Amino acid sequence: MTAELRDVLVLLPTRERLRLSVGVQATGRELFQQVCDLTGIREAHFFGLSVVRNNEHVFMDLEQKLGKYFSKDWKRETRGPQGGGRPGAPFVTFLGVQYYVENGRLIRDRAARHLYYRHLKERVLRSQCVHREEAYFLLAAYGLQADLGNHRWAAHTGCYFQPQAYFPQWIIAKRGSAYVLRHAPALHLEQRGLSPREAELRFIREACRLEDVPVHFFRLYKDKKEDQPTVILGLTLRGVQVFQEVNRTPQLLYDFPWPHVEKLAFLGEKFELWPHGQPAARRLVYRTGCAWRSRHLLRLLRTSHQLHLGLQQARQQLQQLEEAEEKQCYRESYVSDARDAEQDTEPAGKGDRVGAGGRPPSLCSRLSAGSRCNSFSLGFDVNPQRTGPTEPEEMSVDEPEGVAGLPAEEPPSSPSSSRSSPGTVDSGRASPQQPLAVVQVTLVSMRAPSAEATLHQILEPKAAAGHVDQHSRSLDHTHPKPAPRPAPRARALGRALDPGLRRSVNSLSPSRLQKDQLPEEFVV
């Protein structure tokens, strides 16, 4: 006798749908494996399956049976004994990002990275950071480059994209679709030369700088007397945040990075956050509404903190490699005197290089075609990476016509010899066709191994080593040893991210949560 099957509809970040059949006793792992096989995802550590409960996404524990997350109709027979009868509606679940990372290079699988990009793209469309309006125009430029490739005047004219697919609705309402369609192509043109992969990586980097994109929000009750939740708990890349909702507008009350959190505890529907170094009287106490929801939050907080520790060394190493690659790129610099301003008003000479706006380029420095180093692609980066946590450069939104004068792509230059172009000084002799006094300076450096290759070695599973991350073990023990713990060491990425590989001693079923029971907690 064949096992009874259930139809499950899985919604993907790409807005595609998968209709699958699983057994009535199947676990979330079986369904998740089917989804990964059909989508081609080989690195699924950052994703999870979720269901909607009370307008809130609840991620499944993949080791639990699916019937725990669906309605009571899951176990009911939907067909007759001979297979007749009308089948019921499919059970709906979502494939989404469960753990956010700010650097897309930590996701090595191409299919997984593309799904991660599409998930962030949907999040950006719902973002409400009104003080970062220029960031949405930059994100739209990266998105157009990733989806459509280089801007082509023959094909990309007029309304060649839908503003609703790249901009939040509040920007379209404020600026108008005509404004977006008039100025976004110029920003798309600036990204010429970026490969779709590099454009996706830059989109991921910029999207994660928006406060309400790489975060999970959960509504909490301030006390038992409240009919509606007024407190919002945000699980971010670096820790947790607490917001107070005033006139339907969230206002930030507390921002706790993981090092500033002493302990998180749940007792039934009560949630406690203990700040580091503060007495018990200063702890924050809220209510989740039910014990089942408390257990879900505890599991997500624990595994997110475990991810933060597991990727800490890889994240630092990747940042150092990217900084080293930026320094080793071949770069051309043009140094001009004060006469440049006078030449802007004169007609262009025969040998002048004219930009898209019909005037000579005004950039003083840019990367040449030979400046690409392994994992970096050619293109004018309006927000280049820098060393240190600096703020992104602001980009003009009200007057983007100035970007029309950006220079076109240059032919490759040899590191050993620089080509002379009209208007440059070569061997102490200036070209008669261009009176501008310009000096071309060439900086040449040896190439180092790419960040991708080195990161691949860092994240390789080390099963033979058999060592255990002592620092992250505090997540699974209510009472850690008082002795000082060593710094976290690199270990297998799969073990660091897969919560199913390590079961916590504090994982208790909701039916066993009694008033006289010790709280579920983990010490950070």
Average confidence score pLDDT of the chain: 73
pLDDT value, residue 326: 76
Tokens 């679940």 sit on residue: 93
d(CA 418, CA 503): 61
Q: Looking at residues 405-417, what average pLDDT do you find?
A: 41
Tell me if residue 493 falls in helix, strand or coil. Answer: helix
Residue type, 464: A
Q: Is the pLDDT of residue 254 over 80?
A: yes
Beta bridge partners of 22: 6
Tokens of 422: 């009209």
| CB atoms near residue 466 (< 10 Å) | 6
Q: How confident is the model at residue 365 (pLDDT cuts 50, 70, 90)?
A: very low
Q: Is the pLDDT of residue 351 over 90?
A: no
Tell me if residue 274 falls in helix, strand or coil. Answer: strand
pLDDT value, residue 75: 83
Report for 322-326, 357-361, 424-428: range of highest mean pLDDT: 322-326
The interaxial angle of helices 312-327 and 451-458, nearest 10 deg, is 160
pLDDT value, residue 160: 93
Which of 23-32, 81-90, 143-152 shows the lowest per-residue confidence on average (mean pLDDT)? 81-90
Q: Looking at residues 283-289, what average pLDDT do you find?
A: 93
d(CA 447, CA 281): 56
Tokens of 92: 């709906």
Tokens of 259: 């090092």
Dihedral sign (CA 444, 447, 450, 455): negative
List CB contacts of 397: < 8 A, sequence separation 6 or more. Answer: 133, 134, 137, 183
pLDDT value, residue 324: 84
Task: Tell me the pLDDT tens digit for each residue of 173-195.
Answer: 999 999 999 999 999 999 999 99
- Enclosing H/E stretch for 145: helix 133-148
372 or 263, greater pLDDT: 263
Q: How confident is the model at residue 323 (pLDDT cuts 50, 70, 90)?
A: confident
Compute and round to an integer the Cα radius of gyration of the chain. Answer: 27
Dihedral sign (CA 344, 349, 355, 361): negative
pLDDT value, residue 69: 93
Q: Looking at residues 439-454, what average pLDDT do you find?
A: 42
Q: How confident is the model at residue 524 (pLDDT cuts 50, 70, 90)?
A: low
Closest CA to 459 of 248, 268, 251, 313: 313
Tell me if residue 441 falls in helix, strand or coil. Answer: strand
251 or 513, greater pLDDT: 251
d(CA 119, CA 350): 49
Q: Do the beta carbons of residue 137 and residue 210 sit within 8 Å?
A: no
pLDDT value, residue 89: 80
Which of 41-45, 50-54, 213-217, 409-413 shows the lowest per-residue confidence on average (mean pLDDT)? 409-413
Q: Do the beta carbons of residue 275 and residue 454 sit within 8 Å?
A: no
Closest CA to 256 of 232, 272, 234, 271: 234
d(CA 291, CA 297): 10
pLDDT value, residue 349: 42
Closest CA to 28 of 58, 71, 65, 68: 65
pLDDT value, residue 225: 85
Of the chain, the end-to-end C-alpha distance in Å amounts to 50
d(CA 60, CA 22): 16
Any idea how long the chain is? Answer: 524
> Percent of the chain, pLDDT > 70?
60
Q: Do the beta carbons of residue 253 and residue 244 sit within 8 Å?
A: yes
pLDDT value, residue 247: 84
Q: Do the beta carbons of residue 188 and residue 141 sit within 8 Å?
A: yes
